Structure 1
Amino acid sequence: MNLSTLWKSVRNIANEIHLYAGLISGIIVIAVCLSGTIYVYNTEIREFSNPELYQVEESSSRLSAEELKVKLESELDSKVIGVNWNNEPEQSVQFTLRKEDEKGSGTTYFINPYSGEILGDAGVKTSAAEFMGYMFSLHRWLMLDRVESPILESMSNRDLGRLINGIATLLFTLGVITGILLWFPKKVKNWRQGLKVKWNANWKRVNHDLHNTLAFYSLIFLLLMGATGPFWSFQWYREGWQKTWDTYRDPNERSEVVEKKEQELMSSGRIASLDEIIEATNNALPYEGIYRISLADKENELVRVSKYKTGFFARSGSDQLKLNPNSLDIVEANLFSDLPFRQQVGRSVKSLHTGDIFGQFTKFIWFIACLIATSLPITGTLIWLNKKKKKSAKKKPTVKRDLEMA
């Protein structure tokens, strides 16, 4: 078998896989990618729709984090267990509080940092929050989680939606990979044709060019979205990803030994204020960013701080610190830039999937790529239908001649 015949066989196999992978997953891919296109700008849509929660009027004096903490704990008779703090002059901050006898993650409130006024809480269902909730449900579980009666006895509706979603995503990724082989023309000299759309041709040719060309230009981003998607569908895939990129941690591994080691590092004395925690974090991580602080819920627990860079090209990976709440000594520091490349990739799985790996710059690219992904099952199905119609038209004259001869 010569090279030409081998390549033809490979293309034929790739074509069959590409066709049936697309036909089987098409409807699911459209739903998942369309909702994903919208969800790329989840934060921006929420902030735009409900500015009263996120925007404040700049004033001359801003209350300190500790002053806000004391004020809120007194007003709500609850304990602050978490803070999302930023230094943006026209943005609110967020405090999470929980009552002593309350279980769960508590309630997060949007706070005006100048007056201490409670602007609202994250639990209130605004129209934007409700809409984005539907988009997230469609993207993750195909909205099956909203069906009250169980569809299958063997699994929950949410698990069923996750399973169907994961299979469709794997088929989509397989379609992208085989599409790479099909993109290359039969004749090498015609490779430029795959880089442009012939707009002055008939609609069938334009549709064909749109499918091939748009898929080619968004190839890398489609592969990243497809390769990271099953992370939230399959346990085996999630563990495989983590082991591949050296970020896997056995959930049972955090044992009494680790907790005892942390407790030994604790010192007795007064608990540091929020302002002191932010200052200590800023000394260790001297750059502009957003702080996410998890305060010690029990005695002998460390304070956990994550800090994210802000800006148009800001990377999404956070720097993480564990602080002694008494002495403010840094017990453990996990800086994103210090991680090996493998672990940086592994820890960025969500950012690689949603597109905020480098801030607004990559979010816009992912938005366009996801929009293209939504169109691919449609243009691909039209190509298949046109080919079927063409084959049927070729067979009809042969049948007619056979009847005339009879």
Structure 2
Amino acid sequence: MTFLKSLYRKKRKNETFIRYISYLLHLWMGLLSCIVVMVICIAGCLYAFKNQIIDFANYDHARVRAVGLNPQTLSQVQLELGKRNQILTSLIIHDNPARSWIVSYKEQNVDKTAYYDPYIGQVKGYPDTGSSRFFEIVLDLHRNLMMGNVGRQIVGASALVFCFLLISGLVLWLPKKLKHLKQALTIKTSAKWARFNYDLHNTLGFYTCLVLFFIAVTGLYITYPWMKNALIVSLGGSSVAEATAIGSAAGDDAFDKLMSDMIERQKEKKQKAAEVVSLDDIRNLADQKLNYMAVTSITLPNDENPRYTIIKTNTENFFGMMLPDELTFDKEGKLKTINLFSDLPLDKQFTTLAKPLHTGEIMGLKSVVLYFIVCLIGFSLPITGFVIYWHRYKKNTKL
């Protein structure tokens, strides 16, 4: 009876109905989802630093021994690997000259990835598998609690509940009078433990509410097709039903472009290039179209795709966000497609950046640190919230 009493209270005098219902639902849903939310948040904290930790684990391989004046050309890298019967399939060139390049190649029909020093023309080493495996486990825990599809549904439901908790928490945080605003925005460190914990829950929850809500929504976007569809439509795109509807102009146009591109690629597979351009020529052509320094990824033609694909990560913007621009060339060096991020409609831009927006990679280390702090606070909210509930429960047992 005492336990049930701690889960319910009567509506207070002058308390609005919305605030009263928000309190009850915030309490009930918070208790139901607290464990899952904590696991999701702590896994998110770890995963935020994935790139930095993997880079540290491969520190000796990821840095060149000495920066020289003339690194190898891409054609020389391709030739050097070819001498050892290693067929180059792709490479990543860093904009930092002190960083090794990352090359992928086939050796006896086995795909391999390695760090390559372009100044000495040698493979420096291979990525550490331990750190990569660790983050695979963290990601599995974050996505589905390592429970497959059942866990995925539990995580998805908990993320939805968490979105509601943030909204209802904001309703409960709103001060009744303007003179109480300062108190709601600060943590009284000199107060007793119960009040200090209450301030931690309320104030930190308010400051991180917007970012946590954004992280949760982008996570739902990745998890649920209906959320993906809703966000795309809200950003000005067409719903899946509209885009695939028979007679739909948007659907017909998208289908025609897709079919045209597929047919053209099939023709390119069968045709023999009159003059195959070198990898260096492809890089120069790409730099002419995308005239800025950036991390550059080049994927060479293969059995599935007859074109060179070049992606440069443009950070020359106000926030330093990592925005991808993509070019494709045929084997003769003719430009086939150009997809500039700035030219994409808003819904396509969001689709392109959904994952880095969710993980915090979008602005590099500064956004990763921000996401880590926010996720750590998100992890603490169920704890401080439960302490508030437990304090009231103990108080009721003494009555």
Gapped runs of 5+ residues in structure 1? 145-156, 397-406
Aligned to 1:379: 384
- Distance in 2, matches of 1:19 and 1:299, equals 54
Please give the residue correspondences for 1:88-107 in structure 2 after superposition, counting only pairs within 5 Å: 88-99=96-107, 101=109, 106-107=111-112
- Distance in 2, matches of 1:183 and 1:115, equals 60
- Distance in 1, matches of 2:142 and 2:304, equals 40
Tell me if 1:280 matches 2:285: yes
Tell me if 1:338 matches 2:328: no
Of the three residues 3, 8, 11, the one matched with 2:16 is 8
- Distance in 2, matches of 1:221 and 1:87, equals 30
State the shift of 1:319 in Å.
0.6
Aligned to 1:182: 172
Identity %: 29
State the shift of 1:139 in Å.
1.6
Of the three residues 354, 361, 364, the one matched with 2:366 is 361
1:5–1:281 Cα change, 3 Å:
farther
Aligned to 1:401: none
Of the three residues 15, 21, 41, the one matched with 1:33 is 41
- Distance in 2, matches of 1:219 and 1:164, equals 22
State the shift of 1:238 in Å.
3.3
Aligned to 2:30: 22
- Distance in 2, matches of 1:113 and 1:37, equals 34
Tell me if 1:115 matches 2:120: yes
- Distance in 1, matches of 2:125 and 2:230, equals 41
CA contact (8 A) 1:247 1:343 kept: no
Q: CA RMSD in A?
A: 2.7
Tell me if 1:213 matches 2:203: yes
CA contact (8 A) 1:288 1:310 kept: no
Aligned to 1:125: 129
1:20–1:116 Cα change, 3 Å:
farther
Q: Deviations over 1:12-35 (max 9, x none)?
A: 111122222221211111111112
- Distance in 2, matches of 1:330 and 1:6, equals 69
Please give the residue correspondences for 1:6-405 in structure 2 after superposition, counting only pairs within 5 Å: 8-60=16-68, 61-75=70-84, 77-99=85-107, 101=109, 106-122=111-127, 124-126=128-130, 128-142=131-145, 144=146, 157-245=147-235, 246=237, 253=255, 256-262=259-265, 268-298=273-303, 301-310=306-315, 313-326=319-332, 328-393=333-398, 396=399
CA contact (8 A) 1:47 1:53 kept: no
State the shift of 1:255 in Å.
5.3
1:388–1:299 Cα change, 3 Å:
closer
1:299–1:239 Cα change, 3 Å:
closer
- Distance in 2, matches of 1:392 and 1:92, equals 64
For 2:195, the aligned partner's letter is: R
- Distance in 2, matches of 1:386 and 1:343, equals 48
Gapped runs of 5+ residues in structure 2? 1-11, 245-253
TM-score calculated relative to the size of structure 1: 0.83
CA contact (8 A) 1:14 1:182 kept: yes
Q: Secondary structure at the match of 1:218?
A: helix
Q: Deviations over 1:67-93 (max 9, x none)?
A: 111211331x24222211124221111
Q: Secondary structure at the match of 2:358?
A: helix
State the shift of 1:205 in Å.
0.5
State the shift of 1:286 in Å.
0.9
For 1:228, the aligned partner's letter is: T
Q: Secondary structure at the match of 1:271?
A: coil
Q: Secondary structure at the match of 2:118?
A: coil
For 1:179, the aligned partner's letter is: G
Q: Secondary structure at the match of 2:28?
A: helix
1:218–1:24 Cα change, 3 Å:
same
- Distance in 1, matches of 2:305 and 2:321, equals 33
- Distance in 2, matches of 1:87 and 1:111, equals 14
Aligned to 1:402: none
- Distance in 2, matches of 1:38 and 1:73, equals 39
Q: Secondary structure at the match of 2:83?
A: helix
Q: Secondary structure at the match of 2:125?
A: strand
- Distance in 2, matches of 1:209 and 1:237, equals 33
Q: Deviations over 1:99-142 (max 9, x none)?
A: 5756xxx32211111123222334x523x333333322222232
For 1:137, the aligned partner's letter is: D
1:247–1:100 Cα change, 3 Å:
farther
1:299–1:161 Cα change, 3 Å:
closer
TM-score calculated relative to the size of structure 2: 0.84
State the shift of 1:257 in Å.
3.4
Aligned to 1:399: none
1:210–1:335 Cα change, 3 Å:
same
For 2:83, the aligned partner's letter is: S
Q: Secondary structure at the match of 1:118?
A: strand
Instruction: Count residues with an aligned counterpart.
Output: 371
1:279–1:5 Cα change, 3 Å:
farther
1:296–1:239 Cα change, 3 Å:
farther
CA contact (8 A) 2:315 2:323 kept: no
